[in-house]
Amino acid sequence: MSDFRRDFIRFAIARKAVSFGEFKTKAGRLSPYFFNSGLFSDGDSLNQLAQFYAKAILASGVQFDMLFGPAYKGIPLAAAVAVALAQAGRNAPFSFNRKEAKDHGERGNIIGADLVGRVLVVDDAISAGTAVRESYRIIRAEHATPCGVMVALDRMERGAGALSAVQEVEQSYNIPVISIATLDDLVSYLRSDPRFTRNLEAVDKYRQQYGVRAHA
């Protein structure tokens, strides 16, 4: 596991963005852990989160020209990640969408830079893939090219079929999904710290029941 992935898991647990217990998922499953990016809700935590996003993007080698943040959670993420990338020496424009288009002032439903070239979508997670589908449609409508999706945590959990939501996006749109960390990284971190022995057992059992294989 890369250092920044381990550091991100530690950071997310410390900020209680990753918590342990019993949580009902949208699929009706009882998950022993929960990830809530909404708890990165102050300047310091958002700054640190954006730094992790930037490190993961640069480490991935994905070729992109700009960032796009789907409303709503993707809006502050895209802005913060653009700042973090600039601090790392990679200046990239960004834009985001409104849920409803305006017919006055700054018209339309896209705010920020024009959607051009290779566009990397920045969001917190992929569950049903709804935000990705909408982002793909918006980007294509502007004659730009979706080149990937960046999320914080890949739960590596299958949906109704054999594939995870991330795998379904990659298969449907033929674009990579990058994550700061994955469920495998979380398990590795829990295994390294004896304080999380009980949590490790529960998460590992859940992964065996609902998990998917890591990307080849």
Length of the chain (residues): 216
Of 127, 152, 151, 123, the residue nearest 135 (C-alpha) = 123
Annotated catalytic residue within 24, 55, 73, 104: 104
Instruction: Name the architecture of domain 3-210.
Output: 3-Layer(aba) Sandwich (3.40)
Say if residue 19 is exposed, middle or buried (CB neighbours under 10 Å; 0-12, 13-18, 19+). middle
Annotated catalytic residue within 102, 143, 205, 215: 102
pTM of the model: 0.93
Helix axes 183-192, 197-210, angle to 10 degrees: 150
pLDDT in tens, 147-203: 999 999 999 999 878 999 999 999 999 999 999 999 999 999 999 999 999 999 999
Known active-site residue 26: no
As averages over each run of 10 residues, the pLDDT of the chain (216 residues) reads: 91 97 91 95 97 98 97 95 98 91 61 97 88 94 97 92 92 96 96 96 95 74
Handedness of CA 25, 158, 150, 52 (dihedral sign): positive
Known active-site residue 205: no
In the chain, domain spans = 3-210
Write phi, then psi, for 44 (nearest 5 degrees). Answer: -65, -45
pLDDT given at position 104: 47
Contact 1, 185 (CB under 8 A): yes
